[in-house]
Amino acid sequence: MKAYKIPEATVQRLSIYSRHLAQLISEGVITVSSGEIARGVGVSSAQVRKDLAYFGEFGTRGVGYNVQELYSHVMRILGLNHTWNVMIVGAGKLGSALAVYKGFEDRGFKVRSVLDVSEQRIGQQLGDLVVESLAFLEDRVSRENIDIGIITVPAAAAQEVTDKLIRAGVKAILNFSPRVLKVPDSVVLRNVDLSVNLEVLSFNLSFGYNLK
């Protein structure tokens, strides 16, 4: 499957470009230059062209990009041209917040199942979903065709839950627990540490550097 290396920062910027392009579509804009995209999202136009160049040739020199075509293309690159089925394991405060987070569904991530071990949490309503027992993990992964598992359990339980998800056939894990998880090469793992967002602010407050 490995083709060539795309920097993760490029993928994150593609995500930002796609939001900006969606905005332009809603404003009725037909064509856009790399310079206009760059100004709209706060990067250099060379960066925009370089990011897009990883995925082939786009646009017409002197005319720019057709907004709708570029948007569709970027969404396809990101794998956002269809819905992904998501399971959240751990219905504590963070898991519950993610279960009803509007931003996920807007981008094609549909939370289909929320599981927990706690008797207090099982049966709790979260939007359209009801928290179910972790004992149903394998059944729900199969029944709901779960693509992505989100881990919001305490650190001590995170590896065991990860192993269960992988045995059930889940190919991608988003880990919010502070535990470093082991997964086979065939599984995509991403660790989220929410404090990184505060650290970028802290850096700016301390040094007053302008971030690119």
Tell me: does residue 207 bind its own copies (CB under 8 A). Answer: yes
- Stretch touching its own copies by CB under 8 A, among 57-65, 112-120, 138-146, 191-199: 191-199
Distance CA 89, CA 121 (A): 12
Residues 157-186, mask of contacts with its own copies (x by CB under 8 A)? --------------xx-x---x--------
Residue with smaller CB distance to its own copies, 123 or 178: 178
Is there a binding annotation on residue 205?
A: no
If binding means CB under 8 A, how many residues of this protein chain bind its own copies? 63
- Stretch touching its own copies by CB under 8 A, among 32-40, 56-64, 115-123, 194-202: 194-202
Distance CA 211, CA 179 (A): 30
Tell me: does residue 26 bind its own copies (CB under 8 A). Answer: no
Dihedral class, residue 63 (left if φ above 0, else alpha if ψ from -120 to 50, else beta): alpha
Q: Report how far apart, in Å, the C-alpha atoms of 204 and of each of 9, 43, 84, 138, 192 are.
A: 19, 18, 35, 45, 21
Q: Tell me how long the chain is.
A: 212
Provide the 10 A C-beta neighbour count for residue 178.
Answer: 11
Candidate list 4, 27, 56, 156; residue touching its own copies; CB under 8 A:
4
Radius of gyration over every alpha carbon of the chain, rounded to an integer in angstroms: 20
Provide the 10 A C-beta neighbour count for residue 173.
Answer: 22
Residue with smaller CB distance to its own copies, 106 or 135: 106
Distance CA 161, CA 117 (A): 11
Residue with smaller CB distance to its own copies, 28 or 103: 103
Residues 88-107, mask of contacts with its own copies (x by CB under 8 A)? ----xxx-xxx-xxxxx-xx
Distance CA 66, CA 69 (A): 5
Tell me: does residue 3 bind its own copies (CB under 8 A). Answer: yes
Tell me: does residue 156 bind its own copies (CB under 8 A). Answer: no
Is there a binding annotation on residue 97?
A: no
Tokens at 44, concatenated = 């250099």
Interface residues with its own copies (CB under 8 A) are 1-9, 11-12, 14-15, 77-80, 84, 86, 92-94, 96-98, 100-104, 106-109, 147-148, 171-172, 174, 178, 188, 190, 192-212
Binding residue positions for NAD(+): 90-95
